[in-house]
A = this chain, B = another copy of it.
Amino acid sequence: MTEPRETRPWEELEEMAERGDARGLEACFRELSAVEAARAMSRLAPQIRGRVLATLAPPEAAELMEAIPDPQAADVLAELPAARAAAILHEMPGHEQADLISELGGEQAEEVLSAMDPAEAGEARRLAAFDSDVAGGLMITQYLAYRQSAPIEEVVGDLRRGVERYSDYDVQYVYVVSAAGALTGVLPLRDVLLARPGRSVAELMIPDPLAVDEQTSLDELGAFFDRHNFIGVPVTDAAGRLVGVVRRHDVNEARAGRAGSDYLKALGIVGGEELRSMPLLRRCRRRLSWLSINIVLNIIAASVIAAYQETLAAVIALAVFLPIISDMSGCSGNQAVAVSMRELTLGLIRPSEAVRTWLKEVTVGLINGLVLGLLLGLAAYAWRGNAWLGLVVGAAMALNTIVAVSIGGVVPLLLKRLRFDPALASGPILTTVTDMCGFFLVLSFATLMLSRLTG
């Protein structure tokens, strides 16, 4: 197969960084898309990355930081002297400063903050304190606000003068505030455009606009935008002052992004995103935090097998079917987990509807359990020519499928209700319970039928 010729811009970047060629670096990054820049940075050794950032002028360095994923940008910032990191952050909008400060965390964040202008640091600290899934953490702090007493020509004039500066602002609404900064109205850009001259902002604005407070959750914001066909919603603080704007598409991205982070968690990547450009020991530690819990759960589940060693010794063929029943029950249960997670995300079920969900799953479990039990039972019979072995293995498979889909369907709801993260905890709970139950079913059935199996 043919692939586009591999370019290696990082080799060029490295040379330029070593020469201290700021112009060359700048030109090189201008050529690269955001994805290409991120990929190139991930190929550079940590000290070279630091040199690239130290060579670029702060505005260009800030642009680069905004283009690459946050965890990667934070790693790069961490490699710089605090004063340099602060100078780069100074070139970014407040909400992006805050994202990087949160990602940095701990001492490193404090060092950078103390090197920043105190007012700017205070604002970044305030924004970084919000969770990433509440309005305060999602809002942008670049928006246009005008006094309600302003004539509309003043707004148009300011927009005209600011075209250059506002081009980053994604302006579709301007906000109207009182002298004290309280949000009093909102004015769609389209209305500014269509306004006859000579009117004031107060006359044209939509008064008492809907707003959310800083702690409004992502779910509530989602419901808000489901209900209202708005492009953005203003955010006010406890005193009713306008402090930011949450945009519909940021909410949609955050909701969709949750599916991505659920995917990572379901496959065992927890405690923050892993990129292969991160230090080896950090990657190992994060993965082990998940694996070490799992190995303990696995040992507990397998202890059921240990209790039936005599049966196993008598019918050694059973050892072949234990991992099959364990794995297949995990598969069936995970399908039910996936459907429950999806329906929770869509709002089609609520965490309190465990019984309804269970009834919907148990019928699927009955049918699929019969099919899988029959398949595995026949395979066992075909292999050993013992119909009783087929019956024991098939019945255990069938029953355990029902158990697995019941647990898989219901556990995410219960975890959500208890305010645990269902994406994270459903898998280990599911596999531990279904393993124990599956091992118990096949080995206890076999113990009951021992004379038929060894006959």
- Chain A positions within 8 Å of B, measured between CB atoms, are 1, 3, 6, 33-36, 38-39, 42, 67, 69, 156, 159-160, 163, 170-172, 189-190, 192-194, 222-223, 226-227, 231, 248-249, 252-253, 256-257, 259-260, 262-264, 266-269, 273-277, 280-281, 283-284, 287-288, 290-292, 294-295, 298-299, 301-303, 305-306, 309, 312-313, 316-324, 326-328, 330-332, 334-335, 337-339, 341-343, 345-350, 352, 357, 360, 363-364, 367-368, 371-372, 375-376, 379, 383, 417, 431, 435, 439
Contacts and interface: CB of A to CB of B under 8 A. Distances in A.
A380 B360 CA distance: 41
A332 B284 CA distance: 11
* Nearest 6 Cβ contacts at the A-B interface: A256-B256, A259-B260, A35-B347, A267-B338, A263-B263, A249-B249
A417 B1 CA distance: 9
B347 A39 contact: yes
A349 B294 CA distance: 29
A298 B323 contact: yes
A34 B226 contact: yes
A338 B306 CA distance: 33
Contacts of A292: 371-372, 375
Nearest to A166: B190
B342 A273 contact: yes
Contacts of A288: 368, 371-372
B33 A295 contact: no
Contacts of A259: 256-257, 259-260, 263
26 contacts: A39-B347, A67-B226, A159-B190, A159-B193, A160-B194, A163-B190, A172-B172, A192-B193, A249-B252, A252-B256, A253-B253, A262-B263, A263-B263, A264-B342, A275-B339, A277-B348, A283-B364, A288-B372, A291-B328, A292-B371, A294-B328, A302-B323, A306-B317, A316-B316, A318-B319, A323-B323
Given A259-B260, A280-B367, A347-B39, A156 B275 contact: no
A171 B190 CA distance: 9
B269 A339 contact: yes
Nearest to A361: B276
A323 B322 contact: yes
Contact of A363 (B163, B280, B383): B280
Contacts of A226: 33-35, 67
Contacts of A160: 194
